[in-house]
Chains A and B, each alone.
Chain A
Amino acid sequence: MHPSVFSEQTVVDRAISDICILLQCSRHNLNVVSVGKGLVMGWLQFLEAGRKFDCISSPTTAYTIPVHVEEVKDIVSVAKYILIVEKESVFQRLANDKFCNANRCIVITGRGYPDIPTRRFLRLLVEKLCLPVYCLVDCDPYGFDILTTYRFGSMQMAYDAKILRVPEVQWLGVFPSDFEKYDLPQQCLLPLTAEDKRRTETLLLRCYLQKEVPEWRLELELMLQKGVKFEIEAFSVHTLSFLSDQYIPSKIQEVEVLPGNKI
């Protein structure tokens, strides 16, 4: 309607952010919604706008995270923890291995950078269920960025961080040190590209790495120093179900048994 003022989508997006800051509200308060991207599966049951999501009856089926998170209620769960995975392919792997049958948990993925409904949903689950939250990402700058988005919020939506961030998120893996620990062959290590190195250096400048999570900083520096990265899928070289049968359960056990080991 006003093409001289609004020439592109990005102009509109920025304007919406400005309005949110001005009015000190969130995007969804302005009734601005995005298409839903996230998936959830596991030992969870809830209602959304009259529709029942019964993940408990089939814990290995994926359900789309509802877009209107404010309409979610009656959350019931018998899970012991929430697991966030970065990629859809890892989510699929866990579903295929029937991970939730053997492990009482809720698995969520934002399929890459999480969208707002996914982050709000996660926040809601944490508030209602008070469960520990573990995050599993690739050992590369993108993975780390996604981890920090869940935990601290994103830079673009910094004004909304209070509602969208989830400080309970813990970094479960994958760490640079896991490479030797789990005996991965050398070919699985991929070199950091120049772009990756630049990204990592930018990430290291972020303020929360100084104060709130200095341990994360050490791991990131190790990644940069070694100049290599690797993906979660690398674990499939041992057996396809290595991730579900061994890696994740052992990591969780480490965190639970030694609570001081929190990272």
Chain B
Amino acid sequence: MKFFTDREICYADILPPSEVRARIEVAVLNFLKILTCADPAISDLLLINRKSSNRRVSQGLLTDDDTWIFLSRSFCKRSLIRANAAKAFIRVWKVMEMCFKILLQEKRVTQRELFYKLLCVSPDCFSSQLQVNRTIQALLRCSRFSLGIMASSRGIVAGRLLVQEPDKEMVDCSECGSSGYAISGDLNLLDRLVMKTDARYIIIVEKHAIFQRLAEDRVFNHIPIILITARGYPDIATRFLLHRMSRTFPELPIMALVDWNPAGLAILCTFKFGSIGMGLEAYRYACNVKWLGLRGDDLQLIPEESFVSLKPRDLQIAKSLMSSETLQEKHREELALMVQSGKRAEIEALYFHGYDYLGKYIAKKIVQANYI
């Protein structure tokens, strides 16, 4: 338990374009200063290391609920001196230049468009989309969105929530039909959303099909809930909105409904702690998420034939989850049970009891406070 973990955090800020441009200008000036001083040198670029060795965990002081992952101050150098890394060094500068120009125009760009622009301007440096993506990450310690990169969101919300975008009409998410309210990829917009609710719980749903089923059955008219899904692995915007909801409505517990397999638990953990992949932005959006289902004690509800064996990929995910020190004790036990039984099951298996069974299942579990 460290008291000064704050000092170790490297976080990405959401900045307005003028600030980002200022940071780029500072980087350029620093570089030139070292180049033109009495003892000239080409300074190295220090980028935050996005490897697991640089991952730190902040344990909540009082409870387990405030744990999150962040990247610490371990840097990896991009240097012009090392021959094979020289191109990587140049790429970072090129991307900075391009982002600067785009921000000046006050426009946004998709990663693919950025690739084409860089390809045409500097064909010797860039040959693949992957290189562009890697270079963008951890640049200037601000979020990708601040750099002007457009991202879409896969997230949707339904249920007992009223949202209002600035200068627009109030949208009632319970009237949005089975397709729900689409979460915008624009984090600035999400930040300015006005939200009101009379729900008592927030439920994260792993899969789109389940979300659609629950929304269509208007489950939120029977139980006071807000449904949210990222349709698989969560994206930044969905996590951002969930985080905002948890801050705006702190008394609402957040629960996850995932398949009974390591990947489902991994998705829960990403909402809960963040991930290294998202690196600098992870810590901001961590929420206290509890595991509603499917869990070990639900297995009796599932017919034997619905179980499928775990694949090698599942076991890999399980292994990496086990080795993470953030995993709660009870979640760890569940994971061990999964691996031991060698089986997995999907939420749809519950339809065996009827198509409206899922709503009843959720209601029962909530009433019994059966979540960990």
The CA of A240 and the CA of B109, in the complex, are separated in Å by 7
Known contacts A36-B212, A64-B182, A188-B120; A51/B112 CB under 8 A:
no
A71 to chain B: closest residue by CB? B177
What would be 28 A-B contacts, judged by CB atoms less than 8 Å apart? A1-B352, A3-B305, A49-B177, A51-B175, A57-B169, A58-B168, A63-B182, A64-B179, A66-B177, A67-B178, A68-B178, A89-B113, A89-B152, A92-B150, A92-B185, A96-B108, A187-B119, A187-B120, A188-B119, A231-B112, A231-B116, A233-B115, A233-B116, A236-B116, A236-B117, A237-B120, A240-B102, A241-B107
B188 touches A (CB below 8 Å) = no
B window 313-357: CB within 8 A of A: 352
Q: Chain A contacts of B156 at CB under 8 A?
A: 64
Closest to A89 in B: B110
Question: A56-80: contact bitstring with B at CB < 8 Å (1 yes, 0 no)?
Answer: 0110001111111000000000000
Task: Report the separation of the CA atoms of residues A36 and B107 in the bound assembly, to the nearest whole angstrom.
Answer: 29
User: Cβ of B119 and Cβ of A233 under 8 Å apart?
Assistant: no
Partner of B113, one of A35, A48, A67, A236: A236
Residues 1 to 16 of chain A near chain B (Cβ within 8 Å): 1-3
Chain A hits for B185, CB < 8 A: 92
- Give the interface centre of A3, A35, A234 by most chain B CB atoms within 10 Å: A35
Contact B305–A1 (Cβ < 8 Å) = yes
Name A93's closest neighbour in chain B (CB-CB). B110
Name the CB-closest residue of B to A88: B152
Query: A1-B352, A57-B169, A233-B116 given. 7 additional CB < 8 A pairs?
Result: A50-B175, A64-B180, A67-B178, A88-B152, A89-B112, A187-B120, A188-B119
Q: What are the residues of chain B within 8 A of A233 when measuring CB–CB?
A: 110, 112-113, 115-116
Minimum CB–CB distance for A197 against chain B, Å: 21
Check if B110 sits within 8 Å of A92, measured CB to CB.
yes
Query: B94 contacts the other chain (Cβ, under 8 Å)?
Result: no
CB-nearest residue of chain A relative to B117? A237
Instruction: Give the complex CA separation of A169 and B156 in angstroms.
Output: 30
Number of B interface residues at 8 Å Cβ cutoff, please give it. Answer: 34
Per-residue CB proximity of B117-136 to A under 8 Å, as 1/0? 10110010000000000000
Residue of B nearest to A117 (CB): B179
For chain A, the bracket of interface size reads: 20 to 34
B116/A237 in contact, CB under 8 A: yes
Q: How far is the CA of A92 from the CA of B112 in the complex (A)?
A: 12
Contact with A along B130-172 (1 / 0, CB 8 A): 0000000000000000000010100010000000000011000
Q: In this assembly, does B303 line the interface, its C-beta being within 8 Å of a C-beta of chain A?
A: yes
Interchain CB contact (< 8 A) of B212 among A35, A49, A89: A35
Q: A51 with B119: in contact, given A1-B303, A92-B110, A96-B108 (CB under 8 Å)?
A: no
User: Which residues of A lie under 8 Å from residue B105 when comparing CB positions?
Assistant: 240
Residue numbers of B with Cβ under 8 A of A are 102, 105, 107-110, 112-113, 115-117, 119-120, 123, 150, 152, 156, 168-169, 175-180, 182, 185, 208-209, 212, 303, 305-306, 352
Which chain A residue lies CB-closest to B168?
Answer: A58
Contacts of A185 in B (CB 8 A): 120
A50 to B178, CA, bound (A): 12
CB of B260, distance to nearest CB on chain A (Å): 17
| Cβ–Cβ contact A240 & B113, under 8 A | yes
Decide if A36 touches B179 in the complex (CB within 8 Å).
yes
Q: A93-B113, A241-B107 are in contact. Are A66 and B152 (CB under 8 A)?
A: no
